[in-house]
Amino acid sequence: MMATPAQSQIDSLLQDLATAASSTFISNGAVIFHILNTNSESKFKKKDFGRTTEVICCLIGENTPNGPEPNKIRLKCKDTYNRFCQLKKHMSQPSAWSKLVDFLSREFYRQTVTSVQLDHIYEAREVDELPEPTAGPLFHVTLNTPLSQHVTSHPPSPKKLKGDCENCANRRQSLKVQTEALRNQKSIAYTLRRQKADMTRVYGKRTIDQRHRRHKIRVKTLVGHNKELLSKIEKLEKSGFFSVRKKKLLMKNDTLERENANLKHEVSILKEKVQKLEEECRHLHFQFADQEMMSNTSSSSNTVEAKEGKSFSRPIRESVYLMLCRQVPVEACGPVLKTILAKVANKTLTAIPFPSTCAQMSYELGISSLQVASHLMEAENGCLSWDATSVDGSHKELNCELIELHCNVHPMDAFANRSKAQLTAIDAQHDTAGKCYGKEGCAANLIQAVAYTYINSTQ
């Protein structure tokens, strides 16, 4: 990687370019050197660029027909200085030094000469009216800058143009030959365009004449056909052909009118029949709908829905519970229920429970009894209702199967208190006390649950 040049190298380069500046060539480096040495401050003001503009205008004005515009020179100075600052910031890059040298070595300003100014210069040279050089100074510049020494006090010498060479006459002759060739080409193109226009007019007129001639022939042919048709019509009228034809057409028209009237009468009769048939069809449709509704109602009344969604309904489950409590096998619960409904109520079930379903219901029955017992034993304010019971066991006050009891003493009240204490001590020793079915201990609760299950199964 190329090392970054020091500030001293840049300053020496600018000084060399400023020293090499002349009235015919001013580089960007000379202008930058003048700007940097005009004022020592880092930020330049408009007047600093103005001073540089004055010197540059004086130097460039010596070698141009008309002096440069100060505004353009001032803007050019500002752009050149900004570009120099940008290149200086990126001096760490490898190719930055070569770019900076190339930019500073370029020409700062080149003024173009218009054709009018060039003609005036030629006329001045031909009549030798150029002003004589004067002894007095032409420009008065009092700037103490490095470029101020290059401002000349003599008038500018005429700029040597391209046409001032020894072959000027040959150059004019070649230009004259080229001009004549261009004129000949233009005249040839004009002649061809004229010929094309003439041919277009001629052929266009010929086409119109041919169309007009064909139109006349067509009209003459149609006129001949018209005359032949008129002569045929006259002959037919003289022979009475049209009168006979007219009578036949009138007779045929009368016949068609009568047929039309008959057809209209038949259409009206058919419309009446269609209306009657539509009424009968509508009546039959209503009757069919009523019969279908009655049949659906009768079929639905003879059918009992066994399921509510995916599970069996509450009446079906209660019936299965009752049969299980009366020692009906799980394999016979479904067929027994279906047979009783068919024989007694003349109804059919949409579905009957399978044996596995009945077995599941028997498990549910035992679990429900255990849940009731657990609730009664864990309730803080629990009470059993007593009512008058007849000899046959019917209740007078209550009719709730949930609290119906057939004994006045709890089955587990006969357990010795010592047995309960031993079971509770075992639970306390092994830390197995629970709240599942009471506060007697796990073993006592298990014995009570087995006793409840046995009692419910024997009822």
- Would you say the C-alpha torsion 31, 34, 36, 41 has a positive or negative sign? negative
What's the one-letter identity of residue 229? L
pLDDT of residue 271: 93
412 in Cβ contact with 447 (< 8 Å): yes
CA distance 452 to 456: 6
Which pLDDT does position 40 carry in this prediction? 47
Q: In this structure, are residues 459 and 325 in contact, taking their beta carbons and an 8 Å threshold?
A: yes
| Residue 5 to residue 189: CA distance in whole angstroms | 66
SS3 category, 349: strand
Where along the chain do its domains lie? Answer: 7-164, 180-239, 243-300, 302-377, 384-459
Tokens 């096998």 belong to 329
DSSP, residue by residue, 184-220 = HHHHHHHHHHHHHHHHHHHHHHHHHHHHHHHHHHHHH
| Per-residue tokens: 201 | 């007019």
Residue type at position 384 = L
Per-residue pLDDT of the chain (459 residues; tens, 9 = 90+): 444 556 777 878 787 777 776 656 778 788 888 777 765 444 455 455 666 677 777 766 544 445 567 777 777 788 888 888 888 887 777 778 888 888 888 877 665 555 555 555 555 554 444 444 444 433 333 444 444 444 444 444 455 555 555 556 677 777 888 888 888 888 898 888 888 888 877 777 777 778 888 888 999 999 989 999 988 888 888 887 778 888 888 899 999 999 999 999 999 999 999 999 999 998 898 888 888 877 766 555 677 788 888 888 888 888 998 998 888 999 999 899 888 888 888 888 888 889 999 988 888 888 887 887 787 778 776 656 555 566 566 655 555 554 444 444 444 444 556 677 777 777 777 776 565 556 667 776 777 677 667 666 655
Task: Tell me the C-alpha distance between 259 and 266, whole Å.
Answer: 11
pLDDT for 278 equals 92
pLDDT of res. 390: 62
The three-state secondary structure class of 311 is strand
How many other C-beta atoms are found inside a 10 Å radius of the C-beta of residue 50? 14
pLDDT for the residue numbered 32: 81
Instruction: Give the closest residue to 415 by CA, choosing from 444, 441, 439.
Output: 444
Taking the C-alpha atoms of residue 156 and residue 141, their distance in angstroms, rounded to an integer, is: 16
Six-digit token string for 292:
């279908």
Is the CB of residue 84 less than 8 Å from the CB of residue 101? no
| pLDDT at residue 3, rounded to an integer | 46
Q: What is the pTM of this model?
A: 0.27
Determine the pLDDT at residue 8.
79
